[in-house]
A and B are shown apart, each in its own frame.
Chain A
Amino acid sequence: MYNQTTNQTISSKELAYISDSLKNEELLIKLSVQGAVEGQTPSLKQTLAQLSQERLQTVNLLINTLQQQSGITH
């Protein structure tokens, strides 16, 4: 898997996608936290609270990937 060096480096396009995704996730987390705090419907509140937790993990995943890639490329 690591033989093909061209596939291993992260392209600027992919970097841009990851960066955009992080921005998306940030907005989603903030919105869902707000919905979980201010909401009236218990089930919706719970769903949104769960969503914010999941999305936080997604952010970590994206950042981890960035860190890994920076470790490989430099």
Chain B
Amino acid sequence: MYQQNPYAGQSFGTQQTQQSQGQQVYLQEQDLANFILSELKRTAREYATATLEAANPQIRQLFQSLLQQTLNAQGQVFQELQKLNGYNDIQPAQQQQLQQEVQKQSQTAAQLQSFVQQNLSKISISSGMMQNQAFQQPNQGQLPLQTQSFIPTNAGVQQGFQQQQPLSGSTYGSTLYGQSQQQQQQPLHNPTSGYGTGLQTQQFQPSLDQTYNTSTSFGSDYGSSSGSSTSGKTGSGYYAGSANETASTGKAQSFNQRQTAGGNLTSSETSAYSAGGVKSQDGSKYSF
């Protein structure tokens, strides 16, 4: 069925004219490889949809692993095609545009961080310790980079808001790490580790990191401002649907939805995710 390539007999752009008749097979091979590549991409999309839609955890896990496998296979085929000069025309981004974007997004990220810190402190004061505990869990579990800049706010809040003004990050970071985090993380971690948190850290954290790394020089600038790590990583792990464009945000969102809908397992867990809902509403105002 596919041997009869409709393009083979016709004049097919520059490649056909450049090559002699005996090398038509090469064109067919490339066509076939392109076809396989697009099939892999379509399959990956369908697996992603299936993962998002699946209610049965076992089925979801299956689709999720098949999605990862398909993505890997697509990457391999793409690299092969790249070797065959199929994708040589990838244009690098303009350096000027890149720098403008870095500046703009760094400002945005700084604003976002102050927004998060202001509002977190309000929430913790008005509605008590439960949510405060909840906010710390993803910090330790998923965002090791962020602890320096983010935790001190919580520490200040926990020990009274007055102390937040003079605090320096390192001292409060360490006291919080020592005291409260180890106590509070225990009850929160257990109910989520089986399904939610465990999956997220294993499966999606690497892909998120990859996304940041692939942006090369942009990534290094971006990562160095503490605010940016707040927006990016917090967005995926916690504030679903805020200022984050990566695919993993979508995942995180669906996780949060699932958790709120599915499990009133423990009170602390429920508070964790309801708090997440509040923040995602706030965050949407700041989605850029």
Contacts and interface: CB of A to CB of B under 8 A. Distances in A.
Interface in B236-253: none
B74 to A, nearest CB: 10
Contacts of B58: 65, 68
B84 interface: yes
A40 B40 contact: no
A50 B40 CA distance: 14
B2 interface: yes
B66 interface: yes
Contacts of A56: none
B80 A14 contact: no
Consensus secondary structure, chain A interface: helix
A20 B54 CA distance: 14
Consensus secondary structure, chain B interface: helix
Given A28-B39, A28-B40, A65-B58, A21 B26 contact: no
A10 to B, nearest CB: 6
B53 interface: yes
Interface size class of B (residues with CB under 8 A): 35 or more
A50 B66 CA distance: 16
Given A11-B55, A41-B80, A43-B83, A17 B63 contact: yes
A6 to B, nearest CB: 8
A56 to B, nearest CB: 12
Contacts of A10: 56, 59
B32 A35 contact: yes
Interface string A1-43: 1000001111101100110110011011001101100111101
Interface residues of A, number: 38
Interface string B31-53: 01101100110110011011001
B54 A17 contact: yes
Interface string B256-282: 000000000000000000000000000
Contacts of A1: 57
A18 B39 contact: no
20 contacts: A1-B57, A7-B56, A8-B56, A10-B56, A10-B59, A11-B56, A14-B50, A21-B47, A24-B42, A24-B43, A24-B46, A28-B36, A31-B35, A31-B36, A41-B80, A41-B84, A48-B36, A48-B77, A54-B73, A61-B62
Given A40-B25, A41-B83, 11 more contacts: A7-B55, A17-B50, A21-B47, A21-B66, A28-B43, A31-B36, A38-B28, A38-B32, A39-B29, A44-B80, A51-B76
